[in-house]
Structure 1
């Protein structure tokens, strides 16, 4: 009678190493997630809850009253129109400056590039103060015009209008377009430009068919960033537009700080957040499809 064959003992693999590996990404992700929730999530949640707190306990009345007011409609339209006009101005001026700095050699181009970078480090209210000193009713330009023409009233008086805000925002936010476009131009192969020129293409055709297509992603990124920043800009509007230009951020400040209408200010802030997040999500979707299209082609 043969001896029974015994199965080899099962090898039990230690689970501690695998468990540590599986939990490691989660543990590393938790700190930044908690920081984001604490820094951004809690204020947004607090604003939402504050918009429903009223003495009567009827939060819907505050929403309907604020959203149905003419002041809200005017501020919303003014905010969007100023942001769109400023963004278009930044795209046009930023693209022009980037083309000149990248393809038109001239003495001092490096200094101009550094000055553009310097603007990025300055607070926005310095631009508005410079505009006030130059184009204000008692500014240098009006003083020169008054001296030359003998006018008794200021000839230039646009700072307290939407045009003054748009020009100040274009001046301050144009570097946010110049820098990414310059980076895109720096990656453009010079041989491609030389081949296009050797085939008889005019400079304008080379610019339109070779240079600008390479810059579309950079233009989209810079323009979207400028649109988000101008949509939420408050300092330039406060210093330049003063009481003549009321945007959503300025209306939130008036409701929350001046009149102490915290529920009304919270409603306006919620609209501002939703508007910004919607614009950001739309930009990300469109930009992702725009980047993926060349790969598909």
Structure 2
């Protein structure tokens, strides 16, 4: 029979082994993420030009460019999230409950679409609605006009359209999963009692879909808040979001202290929204 000291040594060796296995990923996390993040935070409090630790924050918060970028970021993120929720819910309803050929293939394509980079969707929209895109080309060919009427992609509405187009599948995916677990007997009973489709959706399907809608909407809100590629590729010069402001301050103006301040603000908002997303996802069982 093994003695108590021997058992203690075995347990100690097991704990040591676990710590050794955990060390490599911890080092990668610290060196690859936490250390650079710490440098960003430090730089925001210690500007290269000298001054107080909060001078960069006061300067950034007092600038109209920061306030406009923050407002633009928030309204684009909220607007895109609302659009994705409405469009995603409608499309998920059709795919899940309206039988049509290829419904399963469409549902599979949504999974593939989630892997696409955001700039690819924006590039496709530029081919169609850009200044020299297909829509303007058809217009000039038919009317003989020198220029087409479609120039909205370089406006905030074009950015909003691109974000809704790209992020809607991120709402559809959890909705389709929720619909697949819905008891169809409830729908049959409601239809048998004479309920119209709109009432079935409102009173039977929507309550079951609310957790998935909340989880998908929270995720889209976080991603829209940090979206950079869509704004850049649309060429919307008058649309400056927080990520675009960070790019401008750091790369174009070499004002690294201001860029770090905006980055810290963006991180705080993003982490807060991600915490909300995790809470909602946990309650939704995602």
- Identify whether the pair has TM-score above 0.5, normalized to the shorter chain: yes
Residue number in structure 1 paired with 2:269: 275
1:75 counterpart SS class = helix
Find the partner of 1:80 among 74, 78, 92: 74
Residue number in structure 2 paired with 1:38: 31
Find the partner of 2:9 among 16, 27, 34: 16
Residue number in structure 1 paired with 2:141: 147
Structure 1 unmatched ranges of 5 or more: 1-10, 293-297
How many residues get paired?
281
Output the CA distance in 1 between the equivalents of 2:236 and 2:183: 48
Residue number in structure 1 paired with 2:255: 261
Find the partner of 1:164 among 155, 158, 161: 158
Output the CA distance in 1 between the equivalents of 2:96 and 2:280: 27
Output the CA distance in 1 between the equivalents of 2:90 and 2:253: 44
Residue number in structure 2 paired with 1:90: 84
Output the CA distance in 1 between the equivalents of 2:116 and 2:238: 25
Residue number in structure 2 paired with 1:50: 43
Output the CA distance in 2 between the equivalents of 1:12 and 1:155: 84
The structure number with the bigger radius of gyration is 1
Contact 2:129 2:135 in 1 (8 A): yes
Distance 1:114 1:12, change over 3 A: closer
Output the CA distance in 2 between the equivalents of 1:69 and 1:238: 22
Structure 2 unmatched ranges of 5 or more: none
Q: What is the CA distance between 1:83 and its match in structure 2?
A: 0.6
Output the CA distance in 2 between the equivalents of 1:23 and 1:202: 64
Deviations 1:239-289 (A, max 9, x none): 11432211110110011111111111111111110110111223334555x
Contact 1:234 1:249 in 2 (8 A): yes
Contact 1:165 1:241 in 2 (8 A): no
1:143 counterpart SS class = helix
User: Normalising by the residue count of structure 2, what TM-score does the alignment of the two structures yield?
Assistant: 0.89
